[in-house]
Structure 1
Amino acid sequence: MVMIELLVVLAAIFLGARLGGIGIGFAGGLGVLVLTLGFGMTPGTIPIDVILIIMSVIAAIAAMQVAGGLDYLVSLAEKVLRSNPKQVTFLAPVVTYVMTLFAGTGHTAFSTLPVIAEVAKEQGIRPSRPLSIAVVASQIAITASPISAALVMMSGMLEKYQVSYLQILLICIPTTFIACMVGAFVAQFMGKELADDEVYQARLEKGLVKLKGNQKVEIKPGAKTSVVIFLLSILAVVIYATAISDTVGLIENPVLPRNEAIMVFMLTAATIIAFWTKIDTSAVLNAATFKSGMSACICVLGVAWLGDTFVSNHIDGIKELAGGILTDHPWTLAVVLFFASMLLYSQAATTAALIPSALALGVSPEAALASFAAVSALFVLPTYPTLLAAVEMDDTGSTRIGKAVFNHPFVIPGVVTITVSVLLGFVVANLVL
């Protein structure tokens, strides 16, 4: 019976992967329906706090986008890339990493990918090199962002192990950033030089490759203000979460717990942005970041609920079967997270589905944090939106997906980046905790 129930879980995940995008959340709900009404299992816990945090953060980000804040950040990113264009392979991941770190969503990379491709072309650099590691950096930075759903979720899980919010950031930010730079070093040697690429030469002869130069983007009057307000709200979240943590203890018995504080700060930021910059709040509903964020909410709801339903009903058997392996060889958790995230297409969904089970099986907080970056293997299957956008925006044809599906330029930099991050994570986590 357990095997049949496991097949239901896997079938739901497979169906969700086939549907794509928000479909993984839909299929998760279907799986819960089959497990509960079909097999009499007790429904698992719904990660309500995480979903509400995602909604609150996305509300603030979308308000900033409508106010022109993202356009302003992209203009700054272009200045950084053009300041030393020959080093675009290293600067590109820095730009996408930092933007994701502060925005809490990797979808901010969409607006910077065209600039990265353009700068690379101008320098005669194969665009697939900076584009591949830029996409990977935008994904792995989720596990280091103070306001990402995945990291907030991880923080909540580790709180009872006396691991503070600040300690998590001290581990995740340096390890993932250094790993991205190692990935960039590897990426700069990938593929033929642009001038020697047959596909590029063929497209060049047909007039399919064009140089657009520096694109002037009109910055709205309230754009800079919206960015400042949003960044101050993130700073407030970090300071408050640190102050109320048990390890720091500046505020004892806080009236406002951490999760609720994040929601309040983010909604307050959205309010101030809307009032100060006089945006049309109805436009927030149509913002690209708002739509992607609401999709993430459904994905987390369905997948996390499905995973917890199965695990909570079989926790004793799972401990007996896999507990020893994970505690004796904690690095295997990173492998499990890597392959799970390939299918779940969400760092938050993978975290919600597997980290609680790993901790329940006896995995140490240090091992869980070290393996955390592995939930970012969204680049393996060439179907993730930012990956597809990078392919589409490179008119040289260097960023292409091979017939074997997995032979595309994102795999090697991505695997290297995650591997380095996990290895560094085990070292740094044992020093910090």
Structure 2
Amino acid sequence: MVVVELAIVLLAIYLGARLGGIGIGFAGGLGVGVLTLGCGLAPGAIPFDVIEIIMAVIAAIAAMQVAGGMDYLVSLAERLLRRHPRYITLLAPLVTYTMTLLAGTGHTAFSTLPVIAEVAKEQGIRPSRPLSIAVVASQIAITASPISAAVVFLAALLEPRGVSYLALLAVAIPATMAAIFIAALITNFLGKELKDDPICQARLARGEVTLRGASVFTGKPGARRAVLLFLLGIVAVVLYATAISDAVGLLSHPVLPRNDAIVVFMLTVATLICLTCRIDTGDILSAGTFKSGMSACICVMGVAWLGDTFVKAHLSDIQGVAGQWLSDFPWMLAIILFFASTLLYSQAATAKALLPAALMLGVSPVTAVASFAAVSALFVLPTYPTLLAAVEMDDTGSTRIGRYVFNHPFLIPGVLAIVLSVLFGFVLGNVIL
């Protein structure tokens, strides 16, 4: 019966991957229905704690976007990239990593990808190099963002085991940042030069490659104010989480736990942006970040619910089979998270579905923290939105999906960045934790 139930889980994930986008959340709910009504399993827990954080953060980001804050940030990024165009492959991932680190969502990369592609073409640099590592950086940065649902969830799991929120960030941020930098250095040598790429040369001959030049930023009056308010909200989250942590203990009996505080601070930021920047709240509902964020909520709900339903029903069997393996080879957790995230398409959903079970199996906190970056293998299947956007925005054809699906320019930089993040995570984890 276990084999049949596992097949149902995998078929639901496969169906969701075929549907794409929000469809993986729909298929997750379908899988739960089959497992409960058809196989008699008790339904697992819906990860409302993760979903509420995603909703609150996305609401603040969408308000900032409507106020012109995202355009302002993109103008700053473009200014940086055009000031040092020869180093586009190193600077592009730094930009997308930083924006994701601050925003808690990788979808902020959408706005910078066109700039990256244009600057690379202007310098005669193969656009697939900066575009691929920039997309990967935006995904891995989720595992280091102070306000991402995945990080907050893992922090809640680890705090009872002696790992504070700040200690988690102290390992995750430098480990992932160093890994992205080294991966970018290597990515700078991947692929043919544009002058030697027959596909690019053919497109040039047909006049299909265009140079648009620098864009002129005409910001809205409240753009800078919206960005400042959002940054202050992030600072407030970090300071409050620090104050209530056991390591600092400034607030021993906080009225608001950390998760609720994040929701309160982010909704407060959204309110202040609406009031001080005088934006129409109706426009927030149609903002691109709001739509993608709400889609992520459905995906997390369906997939994590499906995983929790199956794992809880067979936890003792899983402990018997996997417990000894993970005890002897703790690095295998990173491999499990890597392949799971390629199907679950969400860092938060992957963390929610697998990490509680891993810790129950006896995995050490150091191993959990070090392996955490592996939940970002969303680039393996070339169907993730930011990946597809990078392909569409590169009219030279250098950023293309090969005939065999997996031979695309995101795979090598992504695998390299995750392997390095895990290695650095183990090194730093054993020192800091």
Please tell me the TM-score bracket, short chain as reference.
Answer: over 0.9
Match of 2:318 in 1: 318
Match of 2:213 in 1: 213
Q: Matches of 2:242 and 2:46 in 1, distance apart?
A: 26
Q: Matches of 1:192 and 1:310 in 2, distance apart?
A: 46
2:300 equivalent to 1:281: no
Residues 256-310 of structure 1 show CA distances to partners (whole Å, capped at 9, x for unaligned) of 1111000000000000000000000000000111111111111111111111111
Contact 1:162–1:247 (8 Å) recurs in 2: no
Contact 1:146–1:238 (8 Å) recurs in 2: yes
Q: Matches of 2:424 and 2:204 in 1, distance apart?
A: 42
2:225 equivalent to 1:225: yes
Match of 1:425 in 2: 425
Residues 373-403 of structure 1 show CA distances to partners (whole Å, capped at 9, x for unaligned) of 1111111111111111111111111111110
Alpha-carbon RMSD: 0.8
Q: Gaps spanning 5+ residues in structure 2: where? A: none
Alignment of 1:50-89 (within 5 A): 50-89=50-89
Counterpart AA for 1:185: L
Residues 86-124 of structure 1 show CA distances to partners (whole Å, capped at 9, x for unaligned) of 000000000000001001111111110110111111111
Residues 326-378 of structure 1 show CA distances to partners (whole Å, capped at 9, x for unaligned) of 12111101111111111111111111111111111111111011011111111
Match of 1:5 in 2: 5
Counterpart AA for 2:377: A
2:127 equivalent to 1:127: yes
Alignment of 1:339-418 (within 5 A): 339-418=339-418
Alignment of 1:180-199 (within 5 A): 180-199=180-199
Match of 1:154 in 2: 154
Q: Per-residue deviation at 1:218?
A: 1.6
Contact 1:366–1:430 (8 Å) recurs in 2: yes
State the TM-score, normalized to the length of structure 1: 0.99
Q: Matches of 2:366 and 2:271 in 1, distance apart?
A: 38
Counterpart AA for 2:3: M
Q: Matches of 1:39 and 1:206 in 2, distance apart?
A: 58
2:332 equivalent to 1:337: no
Q: Gaps spanning 5+ residues in structure 1: where? A: none
Q: Matches of 1:9 and 1:284 in 2, distance apart?
A: 35
Q: Matches of 1:29 and 1:240 in 2, distance apart?
A: 35
Q: Which secondary structure state, in structure 1, belongs to the residue aligned with residue 41 of structure 2?
A: coil
2:263 equivalent to 1:263: yes
Contact 1:319–1:361 (8 Å) recurs in 2: yes
Paired residues, what number? Answer: 433
State the TM-score, normalized to the length of structure 2: 0.99
Identity of aligned residues (%): 70
Q: Per-residue deviation at 1:12?
A: 1.1
Q: Which secondary structure state, in structure 2, belongs to the residue aligned with residue 251 of structure 1?
A: coil
Match of 2:309 in 1: 309
Q: Per-residue deviation at 1:316?
A: 1.0
Q: Per-residue deviation at 1:162?
A: 2.0
Counterpart AA for 1:20: G
Question: In terms of mean alpha carbon deviation, does 244-253 or 62-71 score higher?
Answer: 244-253
Match of 1:44 in 2: 44
